[in-house]
């Protein structure tokens, strides 16, 4: 009898979860959670259990996993323990299967029926109260890490694009401010294509939504003209994963900064989540993803040309992810971070030069060993815009756990 990979009790298949190491006294554990928000649960596992679930790939049978465990730890992982583990993961919606498929259908139906995309992180990552949020945003601009008060050398020019972090605004707000100061002082359009990094991954490389977005500063409307024409041109498949917008923070974090920088001036957005690796542009086995990306970018460029609308493209993107949280065997050292910083800045030279292919080749050449999560958003930005130059304005990093796992990010502007 052939066993389906969708049967979690025979060939368990772990969903695309995020995990992070944590330490309790001298004991180390892994905490798992679902970046899509389909499951609200977290699960803390000892390292031997984490070893087990790393083989929940839909291809290893329970017998094979048990044999690997015996070889690794020198003891049997008893069948009743395995059964309890699988049942717990299945109940938490951490395993692919019928239960998760039903939950996905319900979540998508609820998202599509909602009048707008609600602010998911107000009160958590930034202030939920309008007055307090405006004060918080102002504070990012005036802090010692924020942009200086000298007028931008590009003041009054037409701005073509921005790259900004999507790290927690409470920590990285001043770095966002470097990008949005350029927008404040530039000649800005009333249309923004906001490209967010999808942390949960996407089957179709892109996910578009036609929902308006709520923030504590008001509702940001989606641009119906652009979105309707994009659908007519064949873009309908890129709306299939629209529910991925519900809990993804990358676009949401940009919107209060946009509203603040534009100071009550009305504007619309085209909200797009992106997820594809540079390898899909080079590896025949991933060519379908590369083709999706090429088709999407072509259609969106045609829509912009036909409408005659000028747009500013915003890529909400981070750079390197190094350390144990991201799969490295040991925490980063000062030396490894400085080496990473130098490599980041070398990589961003290609972005400044508007060379999307060289940017992709740079990451592909190092095997994406530093996990450049913002690749898809930044690559798409470079393929969409026509600009004379780009500039790195500020570079920084955030520490994400007690093992000094590190995320790097930068603010950039294009004119």
pLDDT digits (tens, 9 = 90+) for 294-308: 999 999 999 999 999
pLDDT surpassing 60 at residue 4: no
- Spatial separation of the C-alpha atoms in residues 89 and 8, rounded to whole Å: 9
For the chain, give the mean pLDDT: 95
270 touches 208 (CB < 8 A)? yes
Mean pLDDT of 82-93: 95
Share of the chain above pLDDT 90, in %: 95
Query: In this predicted model, what pLDDT tens digit does every residue of 319-338 receive, in sequence order?
Result: 999 999 999 999 999 999 99
Question: Which residue bears the tokens 């190092």?
Answer: 366
pLDDT at site 191: 98
Residue 323 DSSP class:
S
CA distances 270 to 131, 224, 227, 285, Å, are 27, 9, 7, 30
What pLDDT band is residue 156 in, cutting at 50, 70 and 90?
Answer: very high
- Spatial separation of the C-alpha atoms in residues 333 and 338, rounded to whole Å: 9
CATH for the stretch 116-414: 3.40.830.10
Beta bridge partners of 192: 269, 312
For residue 33, count other CB atoms closer than 10 A to its CB. Answer: 17
**Helix ranges, 237-374 (H):** 255-262, 287-307, 334-352, 356-365
Mean pLDDT of 386-415: 97
pLDDT at site 6: 53
pLDDT at site 5: 45
Query: In this predicted model, what pLDDT tens digit does every residue of 343-353 receive, in sequence order?
Result: 999 999 999 99
Mean pLDDT of 279-288: 94
219 touches 116 (CB < 8 A)? yes
- Measured in whole angstroms, the distance separating CA 25 from the mean position of its chain's CA atoms is 32
Mean pLDDT of 288-317: 97
pLDDT surpassing 50 at residue 372: yes
Query: In this predicted model, what pLDDT tens digit does every residue of 233-250 receive, in sequence order?
Result: 999 999 999 999 999 999
pLDDT surpassing 50 at residue 2: no
Residues forming CATH 3.40.830.10 domain(s) in the chain: 116-414
Beta bridge partners of 34: none
- Spatial separation of the C-alpha atoms in residues 210 and 222, rounded to whole Å: 6
Query: In this predicted model, what pLDDT tens digit does every residue of 171-222 receive, in sequence order?
Result: 999 999 999 999 999 999 999 999 999 999 999 999 999 999 999 999 999 9
Q: Going by C-beta distance under 8 Å and a sequence separation of 6 or more, which residues neighbour residue 20?
A: 30, 31, 325, 400, 401, 405
């Amino acid at each position: 009898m052939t066993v389906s990979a969708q049967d979690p009790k025979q060939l368990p298949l772990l969903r695309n979860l995020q995990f992070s190491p944590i330490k309790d006294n001298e004991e180390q554990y892994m905490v798992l959670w679902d970046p899509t928000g389909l499951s609200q649960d977290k699960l803390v596992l000892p390292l031997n259990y984490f070893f087990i679930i790393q083989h929940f790939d839909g291809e290893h049978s329970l017998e094979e996993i048990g044999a690997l465990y015996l070889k690794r730890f020198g003891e049997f992982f008893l069948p009743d323990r395995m059964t309890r583990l699988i049942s717990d993961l299945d109940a938490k919606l951490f395993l692919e299967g019928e239960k998760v498929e039903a939950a996905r259908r319900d979540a998508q139906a609820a998202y599509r029926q909602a009048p707008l995309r609600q602010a998911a992180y107000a009160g958590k990552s930034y202030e939920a109260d309008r007055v307090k949020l405006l004060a918080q945003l102002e504070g990012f601009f005036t802090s010692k890490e924020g942009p200086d008060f000298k007028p931008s050398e590009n003041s009054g020019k037409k701005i073509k694009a921005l790259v900004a972090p999507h790290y927690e605004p409470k920590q990285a707000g001043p770095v966002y401010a470097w990008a949005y100061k350029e927008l404040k002082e530039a000649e800005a359009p009333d249309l923004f294509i906001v490209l967010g990094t999808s942390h949960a991954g996407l089957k179709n490389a892109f996910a578009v939504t036609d929902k308006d977005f709520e923030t504590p500063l008001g509702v940001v409307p989606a641009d119906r003209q652009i979105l309707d024409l994009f659908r007519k041109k064949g873009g309908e498949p890129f709306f299939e994963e629209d529910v991925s917008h519900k809990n993804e923070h990358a676009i949401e974090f940009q919107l209060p900064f946009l509203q603040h920088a534009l100071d009550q001036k009305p504007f619309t957005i085209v909200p797009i989540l992106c997820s594809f690796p540079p390898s899909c542009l080079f590896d025949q086995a991933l060519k379908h993803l590369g083709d999706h990306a090429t088709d999407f970018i072509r259609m969106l460029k045609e829509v912009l040309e036909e409408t005659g609308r000028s747009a500013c493209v915003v890529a909400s993107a981070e750079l390197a992810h190094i350390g144990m949280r991201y799969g490295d065997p040991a925490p980063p050292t000062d030396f490894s971070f400085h080496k990473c910083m130098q490599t980041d800045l070398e990589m961003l030279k290609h972005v400044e030069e508007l060379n999307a292919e060289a940017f992709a080749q740079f990451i592909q050449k190092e095997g994406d060993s530093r996990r450049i999560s913002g690749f898809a958003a930044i690559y798409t930005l470079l393929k969409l815009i026509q600009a004379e130059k780009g500039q790195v304005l500020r570079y920084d990093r955030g520490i994400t756990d007690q093992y000094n796992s590190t995320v790097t990010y930068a603010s950039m502007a294009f004119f």
